[in-house]
Amino acid sequence: MNPSVATNPPVATPFFFYGLAAVMVIGGILVITRKNAVHSALALITTLLAQAALYLMLYAPFVAGVQIILYAGGIMVLFLFVIMLISIERASKERQFNKQCLVGIAAAAALGGLLIAVFTTTSKGQMMFAEGPTSYVESQNTQAVAGFLFDRSTGMYMFSFEIASLLLLVAIIGAVVMAKKRI
Amino acid sequence: MDAMLHISTLHYLVLGAALFLLGVIGVLTRRNVVIVLMSIELILNAVNLNLVAFSRYWQSIHGPGALHGQIFAIFVITDAAAEAAVGLGILIAFFRNKETVNVDEVNLLKW
Amino acid sequence: MIQKFIQYVQSYLDSNQTPGAAGNIFWAVVYVLLVFVGLSIAVICMNWLERKILAHMQVRLGPMRVGPHGLLQPIADAIKLLLKEDIIPAEADKVVFWVAPFIVVLAAFTVFVVVPFGPTHAITDMNIGILFMLGVSSLAVLGIVTAGWASNSHYPLIGALRSSAQMVSYEVAMGLAVVSAIMMTSLNESSTGTLSMIGIVQAQLAQHEWFLFKFFPLGIIAFGIFAIAMVAETNRAPFDLPEAESELTAGFHTEYSGFRWSLFFLAEYSAMIAVSSIAVTLWLGGWLRPFPNALSGPTWDLAFSLIPGLTFLFLAGMCFYSTVRMPKHPLFRIQTIGLGGFGIVLLLIGLVLFIPAVRVRVSDIFWFSAKVAGFMYLYIWYRGTFPRYRFDQLMKVGWKILLPTGLALLIVTAIWAMRSAVWADVVVPIWLAFLDLLRRIF
Amino acid sequence: MTDPNTESPLDLETPDKTFLDSNELVINMGPQHPATHGVLRVILRLDGEKVLGLECVIGYLHRGVEKIAENRTYTMFNPYVDRMDYVAAISNGLGYCEAVEKLLSVEAPPRAQYIRVILTELNRIASHQLWLGTHALDIGAITPLFYTFRDREEILKIFEKYCGARLTTHAFRIGGLQYEAYDGFESDVKNFVSFVKPKIDEYEELLTTNRIWLERTKGVGVISGKDCIALGVTGPVLRASGVKWDIRKALPYANYKNFDFEIPTGQNGDTYDRYIVRMIEMRQSLRIIEQAVGGIPEGPIMAKVPKVMKPPVGEIYHSIEAPKGELGYFIVSDGSTQPYRVRVRPPSFVNLQALDLMCRNQLVADVIAVIGTLDIVLGEVDR
């Protein structure tokens, strides 16, 4: 019941990583280029699901589950709902990019350049974040996460968790106040 | 070639940076508010990917119990849910008043 | 080379793990194929059974023409659907229209990766098993919404919006019921619970109790909430508003026909089986045979392991009885032979199930399937009995009845499960403080 | 109709608006919608799922029955009335025959009267059974439909044995009956009565206390007795609103005054009360049949009527209690063999006018329930 990583190393990691990474990047590009918002949303869902798979490869099954259930199953449904409620017929025929799009692309390019510069100056040809050989206890992941969030002795994020619930409450009320026609 | 085949934390960071950039481009250039919001989701996801990748790195250094990155990722997802709900609520209210979903027409407070 | 392969194949048979946990790709593929084929057969059987059982509830015969007692009707239907002209409405969004059914089917089939048909009979056992099932089955909403939208027509759009609103709302109540069951898994020595589907069943075995009867009546209430929510989740009667034909013709799949429509059909039935498997796993002891602890010992084991074979023999006997009662007329000859042949097939299956090696491996699967089949019968029974809820009533049931009940249940279950800690850390200190206060006053 | 300020939904142009930015959505239901019982077309004005108003568009089944009457002799027109409310053809025939008899000042002999009452009441049960099945089907319960059709079949068998037709029976003639009751008619009817009594309990078992049925029908499509009278609504709909008006008691025709039966009334005027009223009516019909079948007198079945009917110049209005409400015939005679004018007052047509009022501020799903509970037959609405 408790397979250690040593006996069962992950198979074909590079294959899956590059495949999923390609799916994510292509999905991301589709998100920001499609005219039709529904197509964008579907592309984003693909990206999110690929990312959930990457979480599994990073030994974070609980985060992957939360990603699927909340992001793909919850938030994106909300997005699709809203897209269907507002008219997109007209929006997809109009100009898609705003006036400052060139400036925006330039700024993004600058940001990309900055990232590359940071990477090249800090790594200096060395391997960054070299990992030690460790076994990741995947089968106890959920319990460990729960320990951080709820446990009496190890639950250092318990307070943050409560704050997060408060944030969600505020968000619910805010969304209702914003979207309801007559309160 | 070996660096290409051994998937390290760095690979995930590069992927995260790429997604982040895509999200930034989307936010800065698109007119459709819905797509802008989706781009923000892309940015948040890029951050999440970094957090979880770092969590693995942290685990390899501090032992299997060090899952702080994953906890942060969960909080970010919570935040994304709140942001999407409120953002879309505002969008609906805005659409009802102005019958448009374009960001550059949201200029009531400009002057 | 071949030797090595055979060794690889055999090495799994000695281990007592799921193929996913053992990392054996060959057996994982075999299991995937088995589950896929088994599920398709189950859906076909469900189709026939639903029509026949519903027909008998409604004083009619149901399909009788294609094959003896309409046994071949589902196959004829499938062929008809596959041969139909593939229509995509001119104004539809072609790509999305094409993709939507596949999303639904993928979501419905993927959940079976973690369904535990037995302690080793699952494709894999995930640490987040139940979360994975709930999450992936909620992806079906996306398919439904996109299908309704892509059709570019009023009724499908309203149907899709209704359907997704309904599924999203009932997921909440469903999740609460599931959490209360998961809480019960933590009542062991190490006091750590589990989300793994296999782990949940093993917790029930270890605690000598189905979670249905745990903390009576809390387990039953949780099961009730789940049983209602799962019917709503699969859009079946009496919650079949998205497909309310008297109001919306056929809901989100109005514009679909032929093969694509059959994909929706397939997805609906496999989703029904999937949610039933969740219910069976969480509350009805999964693959465990009745009374695994009270009636233990080799004699009882043997007696219970004979039941699968006997069931098939009984079915074969019923087939032969019907064969004998068939009219002796040349027109009925083929039908009679067909029914007899079907009986012989059932008889052979029954006999194979008596072989000890098979018996041991199959009995878990049999008990699991039998429990799921009970739920399938319930689905048909509901459909024959209940009128349909109105949309606001449906939402009322979901949000105003099931959700508060679920929340209260969660709190009560938590308090009850932690009762010693609650007693020691909350009740006693408060009582002592109260006494202290009294002492100070007087 | 009741509120002159609301403009007709037909006048609305539908701009390129979506659900959100517009308050109103115009949806067309029918004429091929499965739940509109034939070819009724309803144009709904919706706010979300709430009905702001609706307009019925009828006439898709118009065959000009009234005009046909002006070109047929009184006898020749008799079969045509069966085609109006085809699920209660015998009631139509009874109304027409009695109206012409009144015009000719003849009366059907007592034996004919008794058989007429038996057949009419059987037809009332059949009509209510069909209503129950389709109404329950609209609300989503499939099974009652098959139960009611199984039992309606027994009634149709009696009709078939009596006159050879099952649906459009043309059972009665002006002045009485053409056919003597066949051998075993009485025992058939008695058997049917004892057969169907437990079956009605069976329908009620499925629906009357079913929680979902109660939620779907209670408080849905409420109409007050005052509004009913103002709109001319009759039949079970009127009685469910608390008005005790049944033409069998109020203006007795045939020989209904000889029989002992009760008129059920409801209090709330909602869909559930209409359901209960109709269920009790079925039982009361059985009671009438039981009384009638025991006391069929011997004697002729046809009164003396001339071969060529030339009613005196004048006009007549005669109405009966059809299963759906007051079915009236207004016949003007100019002394020739053909009526100068026949005007039918069909209960379905008049009851349908209440649909708009009953559906205001209800949900779309309730429109389906209300159309079902009004028990309309489009053949009668359009004629």
All structural domains of chain B with their residue ranges: 2-100
Calculate mean pLDDT across residues D44-54.
80
Q: Residue type at C196?
A: S
Q: What is the mean pLDDT of chain D?
A: 84
Q: Is residue C329 one of the residues assigned to a domain?
A: no
Min distance D300 CA to chain C CA atoms (Å): 42
Residues in chain B with CB shorter than 8 Å from the CB of A103 are 28
Mean pLDDT across chain C: 85
pLDDT at C191: 67
- Shortest Cα distance, chain B CAs vs residue A7, angstroms: 17
Local structure of residue C288 (DSSP, 8 states):
P
Asked if chain A contacts chain D via 3 or more Cβ pairs within 8 Å, the reply is yes
Instruction: For chain C, give the percent of residues with pLDDT over 90.
Output: 16
Query: Is the pLDDT reported for residue C318 higher than 80?
Result: yes
Please give the Cα distance from D280 to A138 (Å, whole number): 67
Nearest CA-CA distance, residue D82 and chain C, Å:
28
Q: Any idea what DSSP says for residue C257?
A: -
- Determine the structural domain holding residue C372 and report its residue range: 81-306+354-426
Which residues of chain A from 110 to 139 reach within 8 Å of chain B, CB to CB? Answer: 111-112, 115, 127-137
Chains that touch D (3 or more CB pairs under 8 A): A, B, C
Question: In this complex, which chains have at least 3 CB pairs below 8 Å with chain A?
Answer: B, C, D
Contacts of D22 in chain B (CB under 8 A): none
Query: Is C339's Cβ below 8 Å from some Cβ in D?
Result: no
The tens digit of pLDDT for each residue in D325-377 reads 888 899 998 888 888 888 898 888 888 888 888 888 888 778 888 888 888 88
A146 falls in which pLDDT band (50, 70, 90)?
A: confident
Residue B30 forms beta bridges with which residues? A97
Would you say C248 and C255 are in contact if contact means Cβ atoms under 8 Å apart? Answer: no
Q: Which residue would you say has higher pLDDT here, C344 or C357? A: C344
Answer CATH for B2-100 from 1.50.10.100, 1.20.1440.230, 1.10.287.3510, 1.10.1060.10: 1.10.287.3510
Q: How confident is the model at residue B39 (pLDDT cuts 50, 70, 90)?
A: very high
pLDDT at res. A22: 93
The count of domains in chain C is 1
- Residue D319 CA to residue D344 CA, distance in Å, equals 9
pLDDT in tens, D283-318: 999 989 988 888 888 888 888 888 888 888 888 898
Nearest-Cα distance to chain C for D377, in Å, is 17
Q: How far is A181 from chain D (nearest CA, A)?
A: 10
Better pLDDT: A183 or C134: C134
Q: Which of D34, D140, D365 sits opposite C391 (nearest CB)?
A: D365
**Can you give the pLDDT at residue C313?**
92
Q: Would you state the pLDDT for residue B6?
A: 72
How many C-beta atoms surround the C-beta of residue C310 within 10 A? 12
pLDDT of A1 strictly over 50: no
pLDDT band at D16 (very low <50, low <70, confident <90, very high): very low
Q: Which of A83, A84, A87 is the best mutation test for D, with the most CBs of D within 10 A? A: A87
Q: Do C287 and C365 touch, CB atoms closer than 8 A?
A: yes
Interface contact flag, A112 B96, Cβ < 8 Å: no
Residue C9 lies in a domain: no
Q: Chain B contact for D183, CB < 8 A?
A: no
Q: Which of D21, D22, D23 is best to mutate for the B interface (most B CBs within 10 A)?
A: D21
Q: Cα dihedral sign for D321, D327, D331, D337?
A: negative
Which among D324, D349, D375 is positioned nearest to D58, based on CA atoms?
D349
pLDDT (mean) for D81-99: 88
Short-list C94, C100, C88, CA closest to C257 = C88
Partner D contacted by C61 (CB < 8 A): no
Q: Please, which residues bridge with residue D53 across strands?
A: D45
Give residue D12's pLDDT: 43
**Over chain B, what is the mean pLDDT?**
84
The Cα–Cα gap between B46 and B14 comes to: 10
Kindly state the percentage of chain D with pLDDT values over 90: 3
pLDDT tens-digit readout, D163-190: 888 888 888 888 888 888 888 888 888 8
pLDDT band at D8 (very low <50, low <70, confident <90, very high): very low
Give start and end residues of each alpha helix (H) in A58-157: 61-66, 76-85, 101-123, 141-150
Q: How would residue C432 be classed by pLDDT, with cut points 50, 70 and 90?
A: very high
- CA-to-CA dists, residue A124 to A113, A127, B11, C119, angstroms: 16, 9, 16, 52
**Cβ contact (<8 Å) for A58 and B52?**
yes
Residue D4 confidence (pLDDT) above 60: no
* Cross-chain residue pair A61–C127, CB shorter than 8 Å: yes
Contact D86, D167 (CB under 8 A): yes
- D21 contacts B92? CB cut-off 8 A: no
Mean pLDDT of C396-421: 89
Give yes or no for residue C21 having a pLDDT over 80.
no
What are the structural domains, with CATH classification, of chain D? 9-57 (no CATH), 65-382 (1.10.645.10)
Position A60 scores a pLDDT of 85
Q: Is the pLDDT of residue D21 over 80?
A: no
Do D325 and D233 meet the contact criterion of CB atoms below 8 Å apart?
yes
Question: Searching chain D, which residue's CA lies closest to the CA of residue C61?
Answer: D146
From B106's Cα to the closest Cα of chain D, the distance in A is 17
Amino acid A131: pLDDT: 67
Q: Residue D205 pLDDT > 70, yes or no?
A: yes
Highest mean pLDDT among A86-90, A150-154, C302-306: C302-306
Tokens in use for B54?
Answer: 């770092």
pLDDT tens for A97-120 read 777 778 888 888 898 898 888 877
pLDDT at A4 over 50: no
Q: Does D21 touch chain B (CB under 8 A)?
A: yes
| In chain A, % of residues over pLDDT 90 | 17
C184-217: burial string, b at 16+ Cβ within 10 Å, e else: bbbbeeeeebbbbbbbbbbbbbeeebbbbebbee
CA dist B65 → A134, A144, A154 (Å): 12, 7, 11
Query: Which residues 6-45 of A have a C-beta within 8 angstroms of B?
Result: 13-14, 17, 21, 24-25, 28-29, 31-32, 34, 37, 40-41, 44
Q: How far apart are CA B9 and CA C80, in angstroms?
A: 53
Establish if C388 touches chain D: CB-CB under 8 angstroms.
yes
Asked if residue C325 belongs to a domain, the reply is no
pLDDT-derived band at A23 (thresholds 50, 70, 90) equals very high
Cβ–Cβ below 8 Å for C138 and A73:
yes
Interchain CB contacts (distance < 8 Å): B and D: 6
How do residues C260-288 score in pLDDT, each as one tens digit? 888 888 888 999 999 999 999 989 888 88
pLDDT for the residue numbered D174: 87
- With CA atoms as reference, the chain D residue closest to B98 would be D21
pLDDT, position D225:
84
User: Shortest CB distance from A21 goes to which of B15, B73, B75?
Assistant: B15
Report how far residue B56's alpha carbon sits from residue B69's, in angstroms, rounded to the nearest whole number: 8
**Helix (H) / strand (E) containing D322:** strand D314-322
Answer whether residue C40 is part of any domain: no
Query: Which of B42, B55, B86 lies nearest to residue A28, judging by beta carbons?
Result: B42
Q: Does C401 touch chain D (CB under 8 A)?
A: no
- Judged by average pLDDT, the poorest of A124-138, C339-353, D213-227 is A124-138
Q: What is the pLDDT of residues D270-280, one digit of tens each?
A: 889 999 999 99
Does the beta-carbon distance from C132 to A84 stay under 8 Å? no
Question: A144 contacts in B (CB within 8 Å)?
Answer: 64-65, 67
Distance from CA of D173 to the nearest CA of C (A): 37
Mean pLDDT of B72-101: 86
